[in-house]
Amino acid sequence: MPCSGKRAMEPCDTIKAGNLLGECILWDDETQALWWTDIEGRRLCCFDWRSRSLASFATPERLCSFGFVAGSTRLIAAFESGFALYDPRSGAVDWLERLSIEGLRLNDGRVDRQGRFWAGGMAEREDAVGRAQLFCVDAEGRVHRRLGGLTISNGICWSPAGTTFYFTDSPGRVIWRYAFDPADGTLSGRANFAEALAGALPDGATVDAEGYLWSAQWGAGRIVRYAADGRPDLVLEVPASRPTCVTFAGPARDFLCVTTARHGLSEAALAGETGAGNVFVYNVGVQGLPEARYVFARGSQAGTAS
């Protein structure tokens, strides 16, 4: 366990990862390990909670988000150019669908409580603004378009019951709430859940066992915990201006872990942010939910390998 003792409003430990753009941090109960991707560094990181050892795996292209796969050591992956099943240790990639996304790449993603994988796109050029989409990958490996007209997809997570879906298009600074049909993943009834303050872009998010949403606020150096009615309940300051994603980790899932970025910061800004790119651990004393695993009905066969 990285840290213990009384709960604190500042980090109780730091994993010195040195990421360019740390993202999509997930806790694996089965292996007691913390995983995240360094998108711009083109590597997947794995931190063993018990031994405190940090391993990394080079990725064939930018790995933007991923999820664990039921009964397998492979991952369901949203690479920059499409969806695949990915074995980080062997490097094998079995493509499910490559996307024609000039000026765009995939971004934030997560597995829903029924075992489907969701990920959205992100514009990397001005001419791609408003052209990104939100996708869902079903058990057969088929990719479905769920939302369009997006710029930077982020904050994908669900309420504990799995009937409310949270999502943000970061530049708009609004976290949206949708009614979610667990049977087929249909989204309906979009409503404004919460709005970040000026200068803060809502990024990756997760929901704890009590139904509170924890949102990383890019550019503002903080994590905001929102009650189920959208009311800000708690603010954690992060010693880096660009926190990107959050998850609950540890044997009891009661430590909040935060990825951060240094990509795009000037030399002057980096000189004042010695922790940018690291993973910060908070002893919040709040329990998270188990990370859902992608259920792949087609077994070990998928697409074409590269």
Catalytic machinery residues: 203
Cα–chain-centroid distance for residue 81?
A: 17
Q: Which of 287, 292, 111, 155 is nearest to 208 (CA)?
A: 287
Residue 3, amino acid:
C
Q: Which of 5, 16, 50 is nearest to 32 (CA)?
A: 50
Q: Which of 27, 21, 18 is nearest to 256 (CA)?
A: 27
Alpha-carbon distance 205 to 45, whole Å?
A: 19
Residue 114 region by backbone torsions, left for phi larger than 0, else alpha for psi between -120 and 50, else beta: alpha
Sign of torsion over alpha carbons 43, 215, 47, 278: positive
**What b-and-e string marks burial along 80-104, b requiring 16 or more CB atoms within 10 Å of the CB?**
bbbbbbbbbeeeebbbbeebebeeb
* Ranges of H-type helices in 214-292: 267-272
Q: Is 269 helix (H, G, I), strand (E, B) or coil?
A: helix
Alpha-carbon distance 28 to 24, whole Å?
A: 13
SS3 content of the chain, % helix, strand, coil (to 5): 5, 50, 45
Pairing assessment for the beta strands 143-150 and 213-218 based on DSSP bridges: unpaired
